[in-house]
Amino acid sequence: MSSDRHLPGSFLWGASTSAHQTEGGNTNSDWWAFEHSSIDVIKEPSGDACDSYHRWPEDMDLLAELGFTDYRFSIEWSRIEPAPGEFSRATVAHYRRMVEGALDRGLRPMVTLHHFTTPRWFMERGGWAAAGSDELFARYVAAASLVFASGVDHVCTINEPNMVAVMAAIQRALTTDGSQSPVGLPLPDEATTEALIRAHACAVETVKSRAPHVRTGWSVANQVYQALPGAEDVATAFRYPREDVFLEAARGDDWLGVQSYTRGLIGPDGPLPVPDDAERTLTGWEYYPQALGEAVRHCAALAPGTPLIVTENGIATADDARRVHYTAGALDSLTRAMHDGIDVRGYFHWSALDNYEWGRYEPTFGLIAVDRETFARTPKPSAGWLGAVGRSRILPAVGESPAGVNTGC
């Protein structure tokens, strides 16, 4: 990054969404089935979500008007391939219209091929751990190639594969004995981890064969594990299967997505709960904006030479002033890392909209509020503030807060 803090025109400045969390009516996905099961971790189904399957033009209009130059969204496998080997040309054309609509509005689209959800038939045959899952994923990517064949420079193959593997372990536990880990998340399912790494490689090869110009990568959830004194070896061993193996798999990719929200403390016996005196977000996570800078530094160390893109960073809060405060602190930590030579090529806030957060609507991450009855969109002050950074193309100075915000960091 230049010393004057001006972002180059190639720097991505946007907001992110996912199909299942915003589109609504995704009835053929495994998550729709999961939402309508008797498992009590689901507080409410996604239903119509934000109705973005129909209202995506309005969403893009708002982002462009606010000053964002980029938009990350996902396409839904279960809509494109509702039955094994049966592909919906109409759905592919729908997502292609979204790409063209973004370009018409001056938004550069980043397309995510898989954001947590799969077709029901894929899950019924055993999910990612079943033999041939990587080949089936590549077949879907090939069928969807018209979406990203032109006008798309960045494709994310799989969103948070480490969390996909964790969810596989959680679902297995819930369907067997109903148990979950009392602190932290369980160990990712090993077979799912191995399959996802293979699927990523197959997807990259497939994308490149159809659209050689596209820069491919995947995004990893960064937990920013911090070891208490004497627990360094415990933290390293704890982190590797949950995060580092996925970062290592990104070595040599065109880019690596960094997704950061908070930190995790590790003691001699493993993960520790959030400190009693810490501020918590609506997800129960610790309010810790400087996690972003620490996350990009860790990713750069594990995947040296691979450019980084912040594909998600945000906070679940009903207080939009805290969202601005948090984001200012996160950007400050990111700016410091970039000044220290970390190669970061873009920033996407999570999320563009208040949407379905995997079991409930209460955690509001959005820059834009969505009325659950009318679907009316209302940009929050944080949206205007963050969009203004995009219009100015100037990151906040190290040690300073944009728009006069005191980050307290």
Q: Give the pLDDT score at 408.
A: 42
Whether 315 shows a pLDDT value over 80: the answer reads yes
Residue 406 lies in a domain: no
DSSP state letter for 270: E
Residue 329 lies in a domain: yes
216-233 pLDDT, tens digit each: 999 999 999 999 999 999
Q: Which residue has the tokens 């001006």?
A: 6
For position 387, which CATH number holds?
Answer: 3.20.20.80
Residue 2 lies in a domain: no
Residue 268 lies in a domain: yes
Q: Give the pLDDT score at 173.
A: 79
Q: Give the pLDDT score at 231.
A: 97
CB-CB neighbours of 243 under 10 Å: 23
For 321, the token pair is: 């002033």
Quote the number of domains for the chain: 1
For 94, the token pair is: 């729908």
Q: Give the pLDDT score at 174.
A: 73
Residue 232 lies in a domain: yes
Extended beta strands in 84-234, E state: 108-112, 154-159, 215-222, 225-227
Report residue 164 CA to chain centroid gap.
12
407: pLDDT confidence band, cut at 50, 70 and 90?
very low
Q: Give the pLDDT score at 79.
A: 98
Residue 403 lies in a domain: no
Please state whether the predicted TM-score (pTM) of the whole model is above 0.85: yes
45-61 pLDDT, tens digit each: 999 999 999 999 999 99
Residue 315, domain extent = 12-396
CB-CB neighbours of 293 under 10 Å: 25
Whether 2 shows a pLDDT value over 50: the answer reads no
Q: Give the pLDDT score at 109.
A: 98
